[in-house]
Amino acid sequence: MSAFMSAFAGLVGALADLLQPLLATASTAAAIVLFTALVRLAVHPLSRAAARGQKARTKLQPQIAELRRKHAGNPERMQKALMELHAKEKVSPLSGCLPSLLQMPAFFLLYHLFSSQDIGGEPNRLLGHDLLGAPLGERWHHALGEGGPFGPQGLVYLGLFAIVAAVATFNYGRTKRQMAANPVTPATGPDGQPVPGMGAMTKLMPMMSFLTLLSVAVVPLAAALYIVTSTTWTAVERAYLYRDAPAAEAAVAPAL
C-alpha cells in the first residue's frame, strides 16, 4: 500500500510540476482539480451508458407494471419475471451505480494522501502545499482557528461553499421543474404495493446535493477540491445526459 501511495503522490506531484509555470503556488490545488477531471472523463462513458440504461428502464415501466399486476399474489414469481425482462432487454438495474462506485477509490486515495504525515517512510511534502494560504491537508475548523470564517484561509472555504451551494441550487431547481412538468407515479415494491417512505424520499432527493456542504467542511481541503470539482462536473453532465428525461429518471440518476 505504501508503494502505491508513493506512486500516487508522485502522480499528483508530476501534475503540479506541469502546472507550476502557469499557477505557481496554486499548482498542487490545480493538479487535484485536473486529476478529478481526468477521473470523471475516464468514467464518462459509463455515465452515458447509465443514462441510456435509465431511459431504457423507463420505457419498460408499462411492461413492469403489467408483470406486477399479473403476479401481484406471488412476489417470487414477480421477481423472476422482472429479472427475465431485464435480461431480455439487456438492461441492468445496477448500471447507474457504476460511475459513482468507480470514483470512490480515487477519492479515498486523495483523502488518505492528504491525511498522512508520512508516505513510503518519508515526510509527506504535499502537506506543505496550499491554496491561497489554506493548507491542502487541513480542514475548515483549522481555517476558523486562523482568522475566522473571513480570514484568508476561511475565505477559501467560503468560496468552495458558494460553488457547492450554487450547484445544489441548480440541481434543486432543475429537479423541481422536471417533477412539476412530469409528476412521478408512486414507486411499488415486488408485491405491487407502494414502497413505504419512497414518496418522501423522492421529495427529499432534490435536497441531497446540499449535504455536500457538510462533506466539504469536514474533509481535508485537497479532498474538498475533489468533491467540489466532481459535484460540479456531475451537475453539468446530468443536465446534458438527462436533458430530455422525465422527473422519475432525473430523480434516480446518480448524484456523484
CA distances from 151 to 29, 41, 99, 127, 143 (A): 19, 35, 37, 20, 8
Alpha helices in 60-191, H assignment, sequence order: 61-70, 75-88, 98-113, 140-144, 152-181
For 208, phi then psi, to 5°, come to -60, -30
Residue 117 has what DSSP assignment? S
The answer, yes or no, to whether residue 166 has pLDDT greater than 70, is: yes
CA distance 92 to 19: 41
H-run or E-run covering 39:
helix 27-59
Total count of domains within the chain: 1
The answer, yes or no, to whether residue 129 has pLDDT greater than 70, is: yes
Residue 120 near residue 2, CB atoms below 8 Å: yes
CA distance 20 to 188: 54
Output the pLDDT for position 36: 94
Residue 144 near residue 154, CB atoms below 8 Å: yes
Strands (E), the chain: 118-119, 122-123, 130-131, 134-135
Residue 182 near residue 247, CB atoms below 8 Å: yes
User: What's the predicted TM-score (pTM) here?
Assistant: 0.78
Exposure of 226 in the CB half-sphere (CA atoms within 13 A): 28
CA distance 201 to 179: 13
Output the pLDDT for position 144: 94
- Average pLDDT of the chain? 80
The answer, yes or no, to whether residue 246 has pLDDT greater than 70, is: no
Residue 182 pLDDT level (bands cut at 50, 70, 90): low
Residue type, 201: M
- pLDDT average, residue stretch 180-201: 51
- 77 vs 46 pLDDT, higher one: 46
The answer, yes or no, to whether residue 122 has pLDDT greater than 80, is: yes
Least confident piece of the model among 82-91, 125-134, 152-161, 179-188: 179-188
pLDDT in tens, 58-89: 676 777 777 777 777 777 777 777 777 767 66
CA distance 254 to 53: 12
Residue type, 74: N
Cβ count within 10 A of residue 128: 11
Exposure of 63 in the CB half-sphere (CA atoms within 13 A): 13
Residue 27's domain comprises 2-252
CA distance 42 to 75: 39
- 256 vs 12 pLDDT, higher one: 12
CA distance 54 to 245: 9
